[in-house]
Amino acid sequence: LFLSTMIMGTLITISSFSWFSMWMGLEINLLSFIPLMNENKNPLSSEASFKYFIVQAISSMLILFNFLGFLISKEYLSPLNFLMEIIFDSALLMKLGMAPFHFWLPEIIEGISWMNTFLLLTWQKIAPMILVMLNSQMNLFLISIIVLSLLISGINNWNQTSIKKILTFSSINHMGWMMSIILLNQSLWAFYFIFYTFISFNMIFMFKMAWTPSIQDFFKMLNSSKTMKMSFMFNF
C-alpha cells in the first residue's frame, strides 16, 4: 500500500500543472516512504525515519514559502524573483541530498535497510530532479552546487569503510553529474538515470546477499567466492 502511494506521489508531482498539486505529490511521497523506513528488526530505522521527516518537512516548508514569495514578487517586488528561485532550488537540492545539503543523507542511509537504501538513492530522486529540470535554468548557483557535490563526494569517499556511506557519497557524485546533464539534455539524463538505477540495484542486491557492512569484509568475501567476484566485475 505505502509503496504504491509513494509511486503515486511521485507521478502526481511530475505530471502536475499547479504548484499546489506539485507540493501535494511531494508530501504524499514523503508520508508514504516514512512507514516503509520503519522496521521492527532494525532499531536505527525509527531514528532514521524521524531525521528524514524533519529534513523533508523543512524543505517542503521552504517550497511553500517560495510559492508565497513568487506571488508577492510578481505583484510588488520583481527583483525578489532571483532570490525566490535560489530558495526553491535549495529546497529541492535538500530533498536530493546534494552538497552542501547532504548532511542528513549518510546518517539516514546507515539506519535503513538495503531495499530502502535503493529506493532513497533512486526513486526518491526522480521528482525533485524533474522539478529542477522544469523550473530552473543553469546559473552560477547551480554550477557551484554541482562542483561542490563532485568535490565533497570524492573527498569523503577516500577514507570510508562503510559500504552504505560509500554508496551514499557515490550517489551524491552521480547527482552532480545528473544535474549538469538534466539542464542541458533531458534525454541523456533519462538514459543516465536508468543506467544508474540498474547498476545501483545490482550493487545493493549483491551487498544485501553478502551481508557485509564494511568494504574490507566484502573484499574478503569476494576472494572466497568466484561467482560473486564475477557478478561484481560485471557492474563495471
- For residue 154, pLDDT over 70 is answered with yes
Rounded to whole angstroms, the Cα distance separating 54 from 129 reads 20
pLDDT band (50, 70, 90) for residue 231? low
**Structure confidence by residue, pLDDT tens digits, 156-167:** 888 788 888 888
At 111 the pLDDT is: 87
* Average pLDDT for the chain: 84
pLDDT above 60 for 68? yes
217 within 8 A of 163, measured Cβ to Cβ: no
Higher pLDDT, 215 or 25: 25
Tell me what pLDDT residue 16 has. 83
pLDDT at 81 over 90: no
pLDDT value at residue 173: 92
Domain ranges of the chain: 2-234
Distance CA 127, CA 99 (A): 18
- pLDDT at residue 236 greater than cutoff 70: no
117-121, 182-186, 193-197: range with lowest mean pLDDT:
182-186
Q: CB–CB of 127/13 below 8 Å?
A: yes
C-alpha cell at 115: 531495499
Coil, strand or helix at 51: helix
Residue pair 225/212 in contact by the 8 Å Cβ criterion: no
* pLDDT for res 135: 77
